[in-house]
Amino acid sequence: MSRCILKIKDKYFEWSTVVNAPLSYGMNYLELKKYIKAKYGLEGLKRLPNQLERIAKKGNSFQMTGDIKWLIAGNRAGDDETELNSDEIYEKYCSPVVVKKERTRIKKWCRICQKKFDPGERNKKRPTMCLKCYNESVVRRVEARRGLKDRRGWIVFEK
């Protein structure tokens, strides 16, 4: 298993030994349950009581012995993959600023080119197309107004 849950102070984090950093933000118990259900379904929820038991004993859900210090040794949880101690991990991954920033990074699908894009790149609340397609659509609208092309971009011939 390359993933486990660890607990720092009052928050749970999903941890990956592959990226050597948290995969989630700090969660309370209810948030953790929701997260596990969304990510791993009922199978995940079934595993949770045993995991919580191990977390209560040694701070993480790994079946191997080894405490949090052992688990996060050599981690890359900081900016530019720097190592953080557990207090720093807690600070960074529970900070509302970071959580907000990361959440807006969720990718959306562009309805025009069907590619993923970062909604943060658009200065609009609910963008449905990427910046490139949006810019092209603006150009098309201008051209349509000028009578050169219709909105789909086809050239309109004068009769």
72 vs 110 by CB, closer to Zn ion: 110
**Residues ≥6 apart with Cβ < 8 Å to 18:** 2
Least distance to Zn ion from the beta carbon of 145, Å? Answer: 22
Residues that bind Zn ion (CB under 5 A): 110, 112-113, 130, 133
What count of other Cβ atoms lies within 10 Å of the Cβ of residue 55? 20
Least distance to Zn ion from the beta carbon of 51, Å? Answer: 41
**Residues ≥6 apart with Cβ < 8 Å to 25:** 13, 93, 94, 98, 99, 102
Least distance to Zn ion from the beta carbon of 25, Å? Answer: 29
8 vs 110 by CB, closer to Zn ion: 110
44 vs 119 by CB, closer to Zn ion: 119
105 vs 159 by CB, closer to Zn ion: 105
108 has which bridge partners? 117
Least distance to Zn ion from the beta carbon of 119, Å? Answer: 12
113 vs 139 by CB, closer to Zn ion: 113
C-alpha dist (Å) from residue 74 to 12, 88, 122, 153: 20, 14, 37, 54
